[in-house]
Structure 1
Amino acid sequence: MATRDFERALEVGRPPNVKRLFPNSKALIVSGKVIDRALLKKGKAMTIAANGRNYFVIRGALLAAQRANAAIIIEIAKSEGGRNAYCAINFWNLARITDQLMNELGITVPVAIHADHYGIKKKEDVEAAKIEIPSIFDAGITSIAIDASHMNDDENLLANIELSPYVPTWAGYETEVGEIKGKEGLSTPEEALFLIKGLNAHNIFPDWIALNNGTTHGIQDSDQGIQVALTQEIHKALEPYKLSGAQHGTSGNSSERLKEIAQKTNTTKANVATALQMLSWGVEVNDYGNAVLNEDGTPKKIPGEGVTEELWEEMLSYAKEKGLKGGNFKKLNLPFENKLLGQSREVRERMAKRVEDFVYHLLTDVFNATDTAQLAIDLICEKGSYDLGPKAERIENPEEWTEEKIREKAKAISRDRGPEGDFDD
């Protein structure tokens, strides 16, 4: 990476909230738009959106990105790091921790800070979001996913329209159609077009769309995985609106399946959460990103990897006492964060190293993200700004997308949402 290019990007590429918070920083924290465009410029490539459930995940992911010279995203979901968080990392400290680590480690690749799954599950959530969303941008967030997919299609669209003014125009913007819940209630081209056409009519141009294309979150019970053909079909239907895909729930999918997503769809962002958490703890993880389980259903810890054996036994005892199994091991993050940080340097470094090696493999061998850092810097320098502007332009008639007409159009959409469940992250 050319030093002059990096210095120029650092000067003009950091959004105003980041410059205000970290005036003397040498960390190139950028809008999510920059990351998306860099992957598009390379073509048939996506990068990791690493869910920073603990400090070691963030550290390892940043080191991997530097090794791969890849632009990446560090994120936390509302369930992980919102008001009712189960992680010590949250919307309000994620940028600060990332900036500190980037300066400490000499990280020069561009990094976006993403608020994932900012969930809107009922109309009342919209009013609270009007206060909270500006607060997380005040704290250094540079990209957000407005996820109102839990509601009916008309309410999803109307919530996105109502909240759009609270998201800076320069920021990365993700929207979602179809709750993430495995094989049940898969997204359709019809409902994706409904959402994106309605947003387009209101001069709202998301960078990414997340689909329910056959994934669930956490530890998986089957290997059905991502439906590549369905994803292709929906992305093809959305081509006039110039969206990229955001792939959620990558755990439970093999490297080959993820390569297909990168090569055959318009996806540029792939969320990885549970696998990174397990890796940092020292749990054995297979090629599908799933924890290998013992006969009693507990994650299989590799001796001498991750946390100490004594701390792992304490974590298992706590999980048993609280009735935590499978994917709910995620709820160990908050009560054990300080104990994880309080281990010896050797242990802390091996925790981050496991994450680093796994993420490096994804970036270089699976996602085709190598050397996208320079592409991102080139885009900033060419534009001379942190704001790359929208990819699309308005092609829909706003008169056809009033609230009354939105509700009428939604009635014609046929979609089976499947059974209810806990599908937050």
Structure 2
Amino acid sequence: MGLVSGLEVIDECVSRGLVAGAFNTTNIETTMGIVQAIENTGVPTFIQVAPTNAVLSGYDYIYDMVSRRLASVDVPVALHLDHGRTLDDVSESLAAGFTSIMMDASGYEYDENVALSQQARGLTPAKYALEVELGSIGGKEDDHGPELEFTTDPAQVAGFVEATGCEMLAVSVGNVHGYAPNVRVDMDLLRKVQEASAVPLVLHGGSGLPSEQLARLHEFGVVKVNVASDLRNAMIRTFGEAYVANPNEYSLIRVSRQAVTAITDVVEARIRTFNPKIS
């Protein structure tokens, strides 16, 4: 099948009552683990990279790696720009072949957020999906965090969605980036945001949220949940344990394959948690 538009992933999930995981990659091991889990579950998914991670290889390498692995996969998967902060991020990822875009101007005042999101909409082809953010999600991603954290105001949602022309709305409802095991989603606020939004919602910071909340997100109009920290920890842990067990370990391929398995297990578990009704 190969890569599809983010719109196709959204439509498939909405029609089937599914929640797509959105899993961050930076390298071949992570990509292989994510895709294996997608094949195991058959659930439409986003694979994504943020500009802070794309500095390692550039967007072209990420596209080549992901698209090559997906060429024989019969499940809809989109390649998503996560937390594009600038219009250059949007343009460069689209030029590389990305099929879904996030413009994150949530660090600006409301009017500037709208203006930058509108410009991103103009750059993003109508056949692709645009995600924007209203409210400012706390925590840190790749050691970067917002200057201010504030929740999404339901009273602003309808106007923001209409003005930006987005297909997905990322919201701040108690979720935070990174791994924060004591964090909980304010489900009452999430419901109010859902009722005000004409488009499906996105929840960032899926690594630290409790399973019982993750399993209910489909009830609240959430179509996409971002997970990064769990995958990165699985890979780092695998290599760390291999070194502790044998400081003279030299078989990179053996440990790399173990890391792929660890990442597959994490991703598959998350997909099944988001979608408790799948077999």
Q: TM-score range by the shorter chain?
A: 0.7 to 0.9
The runs of at least 4 aligned residues of structure 1 exceeding 4 Å deviation read: 368-371
Unaligned runs of 5+ in 1: 1-9, 11-27, 121-128, 284-300, 315-341, 372-425
Partner amino acid, structure 1, of 2:172: N
The one-character-per-residue Cα deviations of 1:333-384 (angstroms, maximum 9, x if unpaired) are: xxxxxxxxx953221111010111121122224334848xxxxxxxxxxxxx
Matching residue of 1:332: none
Q: Classify the secondary structure of the residue corresponding to 1:49.
A: strand
Q: Please state how far the C-alpha of 1:93 moved relative to its aligned partner.
A: 1.9
Partner amino acid, structure 2, of 1:231: L
Q: Please state how far the C-alpha of 1:184 moved relative to its aligned partner.
A: 4.3
Q: Is 179-188 or 352-361 further displaced after alignment? A: 179-188
Matching residue of 2:50: 77
Distance 1:224 1:210 in 2: 17
8 A contact 2:136–2:149 mirrored in 1: no
Matching residue of 1:47: 20
Matching residue of 1:161: 118
Q: Does residue 257 of structure 2 align to residue 349 of structure 1?
A: yes
Q: Does residue 277 of structure 2 align to residue 309 of structure 1?
A: no
Matching residue of 1:278: 233
8 A contact 1:77–1:115 mirrored in 2: yes
The one-character-per-residue Cα deviations of 1:365-413 (angstroms, maximum 9, x if unpaired) are: 4334848xxxxxxxxxxxxxxxxxxxxxxxxxxxxxxxxxxxxxxxxxx
Distance 2:251 2:153 in 1: 48
Give percent identity, aligned residues only: 21
Q: Please state how far the C-alpha of 1:260 moved relative to its aligned partner.
A: 1.9
Matching residue of 2:206: 250
The one-character-per-residue Cα deviations of 1:189-222 (angstroms, maximum 9, x if unpaired) are: 02222311323xxxx2x221001111221132x5
Q: Does residue 195 of structure 2 align to residue 236 of structure 1?
A: yes
Matching residue of 2:145: none
8 A contact 2:203–2:222 mirrored in 1: yes
Structure 2 residue aligned with 1:194, among 140, 159, 181?
Answer: 159
The one-character-per-residue Cα deviations of 1:126-164 (angstroms, maximum 9, x if unpaired) are: xxx2x5533321211000011111000011111112232
Partner amino acid, structure 1, of 2:213: R
Distance 1:70 1:98 in 2: 17
Task: Quickly say closer, same or farther: Cα 1:343–1:41, change in 2 above 3 A.
Answer: farther
Matching residue of 1:267: 222
Partner amino acid, structure 2, of 1:281: I
Structure 2 residue aligned with 1:91, among 35, 54, 59?
Answer: 59
Q: Classify the secondary structure of the residue corresponding to 1:345.
A: helix
8 A contact 1:157–1:195 mirrored in 2: yes
Q: Tell me the number of residue pairs that the alignment of Structure 1 and Structure 2 aligns.
A: 270
8 A contact 1:228–1:261 mirrored in 2: no
8 A contact 1:76–1:114 mirrored in 2: yes
Task: Quickly say closer, same or farther: Cα 1:32–1:368, change in 2 above 3 A.
Answer: farther
Q: Which has the higher contact order (CA 8 A, sep 6+)?
A: 1
8 A contact 1:225–1:253 mirrored in 2: yes
8 A contact 2:3–2:70 mirrored in 1: no
Partner amino acid, structure 2, of 1:230: L
Distance 1:356 1:92 in 2: 24
8 A contact 2:90–2:103 mirrored in 1: no
Where does 1:53-132 land on structure 2 (aligned, <5 Å)?
53-81=26-54, 85=55, 88-103=56-71, 106-120=72-86, 129=87, 131-132=88-89
8 A contact 1:51–1:272 mirrored in 2: yes
Matching residue of 2:91: 134
Q: Classify the secondary structure of the residue corresponding to 2:234.
A: helix
Task: Quickly say closer, same or farther: Cα 1:74–1:257, change in 2 above 3 A.
Answer: same
Where does 1:208-223 land on structure 2 (aligned, <5 Å)?
208-220=168-180, 223=182
Q: Classify the secondary structure of the residue corresponding to 2:260.
A: helix
Partner amino acid, structure 2, of 1:91: Y
Distance 1:163 1:362 in 2: 30
8 A contact 2:49–2:80 mirrored in 1: yes
Matching residue of 2:142: none
Partner amino acid, structure 1, of 2:209: N
Q: Classify the secondary structure of the residue corresponding to 2:138.
A: coil
- Please give the TM-score of this superposition, normalised by the length of structure 1: 0.59
Task: Quickly say closer, same or farther: Cα 1:302–1:255, change in 2 above 3 A.
Answer: farther
The one-character-per-residue Cα deviations of 1:198-257 (angstroms, maximum 9, x if unpaired) are: 23xxxx2x221001111221132x51322222111101112xx2x011110112211111
Where does 1:375-390 land on structure 2 (aligned, <5 Å)?
none
Distance 1:229 1:67 in 2: 34
- Please give the TM-score of this superposition, normalised by the length of structure 2: 0.88
Task: Quickly say closer, same or farther: Cα 1:174–1:343, change in 2 above 3 A.
Answer: farther
8 A contact 1:216–1:249 mirrored in 2: yes
Distance 2:7 2:64 in 1: 20
8 A contact 1:71–1:369 mirrored in 2: no
8 A contact 1:178–1:212 mirrored in 2: yes
